[in-house]
Amino acid sequence: MPNLSFVSPTRNSPWGTYLSQIDAVEPYLGKLARWVETLRRPKRALIVDIPIEMDNGTIAHFEGYRVQHSLTRGPGKGGVRYHPDVTLEEVMALSAWMTVKNAAVNLPYGGAKGGIRLDPKTLSMKELEKVTRRYTSEIGIIIGPQQDIPAPDVNTNGQIMAWMMDTYSMNVGATATGVVTGKPIPLGGSLGRVAATGRGVFVVGREAMRRLNVPMEGARIAVQGFGNVGSVAAKMFAANGAKIVAVQDHSGTIVNDKGMDMADLLAHVAQAGGVAGFKGADHASNESFWDVKSDVLIPAALEGQITAERAQRLQTRLVLEGANGPTTPDGDAVLADRGIVVVPDVIANAGGVTVSYFEWVQDFSSFFWTEDEINVRLDQILIGAFKGIWETHEKHRISLRTAAFTVACTRVLEAREERGLYP
């Protein structure tokens, strides 16, 4: 199975998961399958050492990565993740999923991702700023508005993007707003960007529910992860008549058969830092989250959550992947056997990078759109992309994931073929 000497994926690890998704799409690529090995190798992977002086005077070193999986259809594009479990293998998989995601919604980008192996909760703001600035400087040799454009991902936000934009700009001697997206509005950020990923999860979920005849009114929704993606998606589902019956985050799991009040829960989380302690629901064990009866289950946290064992227990009709890579290949196989439909990450969570694209375009033209214009264009792109994927799924009788990969990988490999090999 290992296709590269520098990682040792297993079947259900992130890169192993991605490789098995490529194996599944290969038969649907026709003559382009000649180029498929391109997708099994990142174009470029940079590992950097990030030394900083801590507040107490000691020197700490962190491991950072930026992987450009593909630059075939345009500059690299994808977030930066801060997490203690980040590895090169994980960032490779996340960068490859960005290639597929960007092509699935037809954005003019390749795919990239970055990460630093650290727990941001253990650092002061000053230390976090130093790590961010040094990391940006170190990867400065491969990023840029025309080369590769980072953005927020797990545990990174507008503040971190502001430091990245400033560091890059200081190094090149010119203000380069287009080097990162997900920036604060005064620095060339876009309206609608913060909510875009969660909004996209809702819009794509609504499209899938319509086709599966799952009514929105009273639909039971379970959400794992209550960060930027899960909380916005939950709020939008609730505002459209659905019931949020279970929420899990780092602090615990809460359930309420009648549905929770989202305004109250959001206010509680803003104050308490997590869902634990919320008065409007009962507390449950973390593992019992996977047994809750729902119509739609939204994993919006990390990879590898829906294992074969959990997939066997799920009582839902639709899995809507807000996170990147939340379902393992073994989990996917069990869900398919059980007739549970999976709307894959590469379309379900593509709203974030779509508004990142709008932000980048606005920065280049120095002309900014209204929030309404952004949301209308976002919805149009996602609805159109989902329609194409649904039709491919029906035509070939393949899963929505393999259909999304068919649409996306065909675009990437057509571009690869048209460009030809250099030299």
Interacting positions 351-370 with ligand GLU (CB under 6 A): 352-353, 356
- Tokens 């498929």 belong to 36
CB-nearest residue to ligand GLU? 79
State which residue, 347 or 400, has the beta carbon closest to ligand GLU: 347
Binding flag, residue 379, ligand GLU (CB under 6 A): no
Q: Which of 14, 42, 64, 78 binds ligand GLU (CB under 6 A)?
A: 78
Distance between CA atoms of 85 and 119, rounded to whole angstroms? 9
Question: Residue 325 in contact with residue 154, Cβ under 8 Å?
Answer: no
126 catalytically annotated: no
Residues 177-206, one symbol each (x = binds ligand GLU by CB under 6 A, - = not), give ----x-------------------------
What DSSP string runs through 199-246? HHHHHHHHHHHHHTT--STT-EEEEE--STTHHHHHHHHHHTT-EEEE
Binding flag, residue 151, ligand GLU (CB under 6 A): yes
Binding flag, residue 110, ligand GLU (CB under 6 A): no
DSSP 273: S
Binding flag, residue 70, ligand GLU (CB under 6 A): no
Binding flag, residue 73, ligand GLU (CB under 6 A): no
Question: Residue 234 in contact with residue 225, Cβ under 8 Å?
Answer: no
- Bridge partners (DSSP) of residue 134 are none
Distance between CA atoms of 212 and 200, rounded to whole angstroms? 18
Query: Using DSSP, how many helices (H) and how many strands (E) does the chain show?
Result: 13, 13
**Backbone conformation region of residue 420, classed left if phi is above 0, alpha if psi is from -120 to 50, else beta:** left
Binding flag, residue 248, ligand GLU (CB under 6 A): no
| Residue 356 known to bind ligand | yes
Residues 315-344, one symbol each (x = binds ligand GLU by CB under 6 A, - = not), give ---------x--------------------
Residues 6+ apart with CB under 8 A from 410: 29, 32
Q: Which of 77, 235, 310, 393 binds ligand GLU (CB under 6 A)?
A: 77
| Residue 137 known to bind ligand | no
The window from 76-84, 124-132, 255-263, 327-335 that contacts ligand GLU (CB under 6 A) reads: 76-84
Binding site for ligand GLU (CB under 6 A): 77-79, 151, 153, 181, 324, 349, 352-353, 356
Q: Which residues are annotated as a binding site?
A: 77, 101, 197, 228, 356
Q: Which residues are annotated as a binding site for NAD(+)?
A: 197, 228
